[in-house]
Structure 1
């Protein structure tokens, strides 16, 4: 019996899965089995050009928990997740040969490495059907062509809002799926039956002082925790307070903390918006609920910039005409380990290394310090965040570092955050520094 393959990428969920829906329809139309695959590439385990592992322990654990949750959901539908370790260009064509498949369905991701993966599969003779499904607003619905996209976020947001654009309604999770092949899949190259083994993920508990304790049930990776947290946060008064509390350096309710589940695709932006809209219908809208929409649009903006500019966003100069960035490895190492001598920066970097998480405000403070005070390469900082953050998202991470360094689309040449002022504004009592510098 022939098969259709669906490849899970950064969309590790069952709800709002239009790409999976296409794969299901293809399998049903052609009377084929459905093979559901996740691939962990060896490059994630290798040192970067900056000298550290690309995927750190925090994200490994969170992704492993996410995959375990997805596996549980699939088993309830009579399916299974095939976990593969190896280059996508090698293991997916091998998988296709093994299950007699010639078509792979997957999410479309507009980042250079992710696009290269798709091209490699096409080069191996597979038909690859990609579908964009990670943004709030569909690219084709935007009130401007891709080449005419506003380069400043404020204009981007205003154009969307004046056009009255609304996200598509999220799809419900499927209640049934085509069956997997009858033949066992264990002989596949790189096959694993355990997500923790596949990712070499650590056991143990999250840091006791973490703002996002990802091994505790309420913050664990996976769709079930994501949807439970969404409902928990969308309870008065938390959304109403968001604008006032979003810059706090500590506190599990100071921010929405949706980003880890958005980054793994355990919850979709459209599902968040639908539930947020329902909250507003019941409790009313205000600055807090609007600002949650505002932040989701920032996320969309970074995705659309990737569709427009692609690999140029990864160049040393970014989109700017600034000179090549300088770099000082010893200063960079001091920054990574929280040993710069600037207390607010060191506290933030120690929190990041210990927990895999830190607030958005702190990310801006430490990024600015690396680029503007230590004169180090912004790409090194972006790579360190990729390694450390439990909520690493390729588009948002790259976009934010370009923004701070002045090498993105913002007309200002960089965003320097004065550490003394930031300390006075956000940690005047010294409580945050006391926690992480003790």
Structure 2
């Protein structure tokens, strides 16, 4: 019986360093009767408001995703690999593909999110050979210096354990690994046919009514606010090389907390979240940069941030559904609730704080805010507004162009005091943060030029209107 291989793309939208796909390519090249096809499952219902009053996927990330898919379709077609976007319910469509194509082997990156885990759990009930591993991380699971069940309870302990390994030489293997990526065929006719096939599925994706409207809005916002993010492996690799050519890495630690500067931080996060770049590739390029320009605290800090991301990937894999629990991983419920008015004011950039409003306006307009801004506005959400942290995490999930399930929910847990921070809840002094990072008010002037004197609440705890000297405030 001929082997028919299926690779399912998800948050790994690249052609380089995907060990499972590489292995499938080698096997198909060795067996002329074998076939290989790739799909991306997309459910348009992800654009609708769901749990915690937010959609799973917002306009900014959808635009970035569409560019990733379009670029990947061209690259795969040029390598003789069939790739289609499959629209609709993921579970039923996946079952249909397995039957119609008589699939014998299925490969995919090990997921972290519970929805994705549940989807791929269905495959265990089918009569196919499963091939999966973590391909969005620096380490493979067997390379970790501890069992996943023994994941350290703090990032500091995790970092000390992994930094005891020779990481620079460990990840320098990246260049050798990517050379496995051979093409299946060089036939120009087949390449053209495969790209036409992909384009048909891509056009159906773009013309879906919900998708089409969202893409137009996101494109308009990108043009109006001059966002630098462009999706697709080709674009993000070009950005990576440009970033390191500008010597920005040597001053990264000093600039990374700037609120509104494109070159102040690496801007690799969207590429990492979509899987357009492997973190191994980034580490490999940092080492090359250090060899040419010298290593310093800033170049180390980029590695530090990659390890921070890495910790939360394994944190998500370790705790799974607890990543989304109100009581977090410690079963300790925070003293927060849900106040609809406060939540809406935070989302609408209509709070009493001009600084918070500026951050939230920037997020809505561009789909991106700095790491410092995320911590500040999340602290305000949890500590000043006393809101259920999950609603804030879900809003970030919808709005952020670089949303990553483990990093987003893990960091919100960390700040809310229900996650991996042994010191408990983190609280930022908003005024102090404003004085430190926007002392001249330029950021506020750009993103929240109108002073808002709105009171935090219009009703008291018993829903009675709050009165001022003039009447209802």
Give the shorter-chain TM-score range.
Answer: over 0.9
Shift of residue 124, structure 1, vs aligned partner: 4.0
* Structure 2 residue 363 is matched with structure 1 residue 352: yes
**Aligned mate of 2:312, from 302, 312, 329:** 302
Question: What's 1:164 paired with?
Answer: 166
Shift of residue 125, structure 1, vs aligned partner: 3.8
Question: What's 1:281 paired with?
Answer: 291
Gaps of 5+ in 2: 450-473
Asked if the contact 2:25/2:182 (under 8 Å) is kept, the reply is no
Question: What's 2:22 paired with?
Answer: 21
CA offsets 1:129-171 (integer angstroms, 9 cap, x no match): 1121111123222222222221111111111112334336223
CA distance, structure 1, for counterparts of residue 193 and residue 236 of structure 2: 33
Label 1:226 to 1:195 Cα distance change in 2 as closer, same or farther (>3 A): farther
CA distance, structure 2, for counterparts of residue 172 and residue 413 of structure 1: 42
Question: What's 1:242 paired with?
Answer: 252
Shift of residue 404, structure 1, vs aligned partner: 0.8
TM-score, length basis structure 1: 0.92
CA offsets 1:199-237 (integer angstroms, 9 cap, x no match): 445133444574x715xxxx3100001110110111243
Q: Which moved more, 1:72-81 or 1:288-297?
A: 72-81
SS in 1 for 2:328: coil
TM-score, length basis structure 2: 0.86
CA distance, structure 2, for counterparts of residue 125 and residue 197 of structure 1: 34
SS in 2 for 1:39: strand
Question: What's 2:463 paired with?
Answer: none
Q: For this pair of structures, how many residues does the alignment match?
A: 432
CA distance, structure 2, for counterparts of residue 184 and residue 158 of structure 1: 47
SS in 2 for 1:363: helix
Label 1:255 to 1:185 Cα distance change in 2 as closer, same or farther (>3 A): closer
**Aligned mate of 2:261, from 213, 230, 251:** 251
CA distance, structure 1, for counterparts of residue 369 and residue 195 of structure 2: 40
**Aligned mate of 1:111, from 113, 136, 143:** 113
CA offsets 1:1-49 (integer angstroms, 9 cap, x no match): 7621111110000011112112223434553111110011244123212
CA distance, structure 2, for counterparts of residue 285 and residue 127 of structure 1: 45
Asked if the contact 2:52/2:390 (under 8 Å) is kept, the reply is no
CA distance, structure 2, for counterparts of residue 184 and residue 228 of structure 1: 25
Q: Which moved more, 1:224-233 or 1:320-329?
A: 320-329
CA offsets 1:361-408 (integer angstroms, 9 cap, x no match): 001111111111101111111110110011011111011101110110
Asked if the contact 1:33/1:181 (under 8 Å) is kept, the reply is no
SS in 2 for 1:411: coil
CA RMSD of aligned residues (A): 2.6
Asked if the contact 2:108/2:132 (under 8 Å) is kept, the reply is yes
More helix per residue: 1 or 2? 2
CA offsets 1:107-137 (integer angstroms, 9 cap, x no match): 1123322211111222244432112111112
**Which one has the largest radius of gyration?**
2
CA distance, structure 1, for counterparts of residue 236 and residue 119 of structure 2: 28
Q: Which moved more, 1:338-347 or 1:324-333?
A: 324-333
SS in 1 for 2:51: coil
* Structure 2 residue 435 is matched with structure 1 residue 428: no
CA distance, structure 2, for counterparts of residue 67 and residue 208 of structure 1: 21
